[in-house]
Amino acid sequence: MDRRGFLRGCGAVLGAGIVGGCVLAEGAKPAAKKPNIVFILIDDLGWFDVGFNGSKFYETPNIDKVCRSGMRFTSAYANAANCAPTRACFLTGMYTPRHGIYTVGNSDRGKAKDRRLVPTKNADTLERKFVTIAEALKPAGYTSASMGKWHMGDDPEFGPIGQGFDVNIGGGRWGTPPKGHFEPYGTPNLEVAPKGEYLTDRISAEAVKFIENNKGGPFFLYLTHYAVHSPVQAKKDITAKYEQKTPSDGQKNARYAAMIESVDQGVGKILKKLDDLGIADDTAIIFFSDNGGVHPTTSHGPLRGSKGAYYEGGIREPMAVKWPGVVKSGTTCDEPVIGLDFYPTLLEMAGAKVPKGTKLDGVSITSLFKGAKSLGRDAIFWHMPAYLQGRIPDSRDGAFRTRPVSVIRSGKWKLMMFHEEWSLDGGRAKIDTNNSVELYDLVNDIGEKKNLANINKSKRDELLDKLLAWIKKTNAPIPAQANTAYVG
Ligand SMILES: [Ca+2]
């Protein structure tokens, strides 16, 4: 499918290919056996960075095969526009105000003179009081492994082992492999590596080994590659192939393409191992990314913004789900889903209970897997009371990928509330003139080119009411203190 065809699929042809009602294969009974779950989370992979979403430059035949064998989600969202918060939300099933991991590192990035507000302080370690998805799956008999990037603290306390996984390969507080994508990596449990070994290949091999060792199941493999996050380092032979290729739709970086291909080869090895062991039909595979692709490394086609922004390019993700016997092959789902939905989804898939005292913010999306067209959910939210520096195309201004912002998507509508203008320029009383909110119709304007805040005021006010109610409910902090170092 080309991009134009794909975009048509996101708008007018809602739910194309979905057969209503039960989609269990004919004669099949609901699986009594608990499925193995392989959750593949790629780092910084953009929405158009896979073949199944229309990329003509990057080659992802194995990832595309996962998609063809199951369901493609066209409106799947990361929990945040950068790495650590999106992971914290996935692991806890909660929005950012619940755990305080809003961004990566300090929240006052960029130059002090450019920041109008004092941002909310950021947490960079996930507290132990949260029951992670690995801990929640344990009573249901699941053996869990975290392979690759973790980004929320170190073991023994705050790394994967401390947070309930049985195996940790390479995960710690870092957002990138400390010494790069070729050995030596400088990450735990990967200290011994043959000369020249490539990290993505190693993590894929470790994943295959874990599957083999736990073939009796059920297992939960959280496969979170450090790829395709910077530094953009790739194998020479694969890079050479892309250097000969014609760029397409603004995608042209051969090394980045080779990084993606290495990820894809790893997915191929996992598919083969599951087949060889005869457990492919007992295993669900979910493919996802943690935030938008990086500018200018890749191109997002019509989407506005990129990693770090709360426009679609920063948060809309490629997503595919293969679950034999449950998810019908070749189907598409346009319902908006968000990363924190996976926690309740995985619990339901595993027949596990919500941990006592845990209040989840997401909903299970297994009904979508089975062919439902809607979750009946009113809205999803993002909250980022922090600054991320950097110049990207179509940003709100030249100095920041994002300034502090809260966001709601409800139906086809998306409203963004920018904290600087909200807190310092009169808030709701001056909403018609202070530029504090932006409103977009994502079905008719996926590129977020036309701000409708002052054109459709009733929709603006409706979404703003919902967002403010959510902010109150989650105790989401809105920065309000003016930064004295700001030079206007
Ligand atoms: Ca990331």
Give the Cβ contact number of residue 192 at 10 Å.
Answer: 8
Cα(83) to centroid(ligand 1), Å: 4
CB 168 within 8 A of CB 188: yes
| CA 388 vs CA 115, 404, 478: distances in Å | 10, 9, 16
Helix, strand or coil, per DSSP, at residue 224: strand
pLDDT score at 487 = 97
Token look-up 């073991």 returns 155
- On whether residue 186 sits in a domain, the answer given is yes
pLDDT score at 17 = 30
Cα(126) to centroid(ligand 1), Å: 17
CATH number of domain containing 215: 3.40.720.10
| CA 469 vs CA 78, 281, 339, 408, 432: distances in Å | 22, 43, 21, 11, 20
Distance from the Cα of residue 151 to its chain's centroid: 14
pLDDT score at 8 = 42
Cα(132) to centroid(ligand 1), Å: 19
Cα(81) to centroid(ligand 1), Å: 8
pTM of the full predicted structure? Answer: 0.93
pLDDT score at 301 = 87
Helix (H) or strand (E) holding 203: helix 199-213
Are residues 291 and 384 located together in one domain of the fold? no
Per-residue pLDDT of the chain (488 residues; tens, 9 = 90+): 444 444 444 433 333 332 233 334 444 444 558 999 999 999 999 999 999 999 999 999 999 999 999 999 999 999 999 999 999 999 999 999 999 999 999 999 999 999 999 999 999 999 999 999 999 999 999 999 999 999 999 999 999 999 999 999 999 999 999 999 999 999 988 989 999 999 999 999 999 999 999 999 999 999 999 999 999 999 999 999 999 999 999 999 999 999 999 999 999 999 999 999 999 999 999 999 999 999 999 999 899 999 999 999 999 999 999 999 999 999 999 999 999 999 999 999 999 999 999 999 999 999 999 999 999 999 999 999 999 999 998 899 989 999 999 999 999 999 999 999 999 999 999 999 999 999 999 999 999 999 999 999 999 999 999 999 999 999 999 999 999 999 98
Are residues 245 and 333 located together in one domain of the fold? yes
- Residue 219 pairs in a beta bridge with 143
Contacts of 240 (CB under 8 A, 6+ apart): 254
Please report the beta strands in 442-484, taking only residues with DSSP state E, as ranges in sequence order.
Answer: none
Are residues 328 and 461 located together in one domain of the fold? no
Are residues 302 and 402 located together in one domain of the fold? no
pLDDT score at 233 = 98
Cα(289) to centroid(ligand 1), Å: 8
Are residues 365 and 392 located together in one domain of the fold? no
Cα(21) to centroid(ligand 1), Å: 36
Distance from the Cα of residue 258 to its chain's centroid: 21
- Residue 338 pairs in a beta bridge with 77
**End residue of a domain, out of 328, 349, 369:** 369
Cα(342) to centroid(ligand 1), Å: 17
Are residues 80 and 105 located together in one domain of the fold? yes
Are residues 384 and 340 located together in one domain of the fold? no
Cα(412) to centroid(ligand 1), Å: 26
pLDDT score at 488 = 85
- On whether residue 485 sits in a domain, the answer given is no
CB 234 within 8 A of CB 213: no
Are residues 360 and 396 located together in one domain of the fold? no
- On whether residue 484 sits in a domain, the answer given is no
CATH number of domain containing 465: 3.30.1120.10
Cα(82) to centroid(ligand 1), Å: 5
pLDDT score at 32 = 57
Range of the domain at 245: 3-13+34-369
- On whether residue 223 sits in a domain, the answer given is yes
Cα(482) to centroid(ligand 1), Å: 30
**End residue of a domain, out of 369, 402, 427:** 369
Cα(237) to centroid(ligand 1), Å: 26
Cα(433) to centroid(ligand 1), Å: 35
**End residue of a domain, out of 341, 369, 397:** 369
Cα(319) to centroid(ligand 1), Å: 15
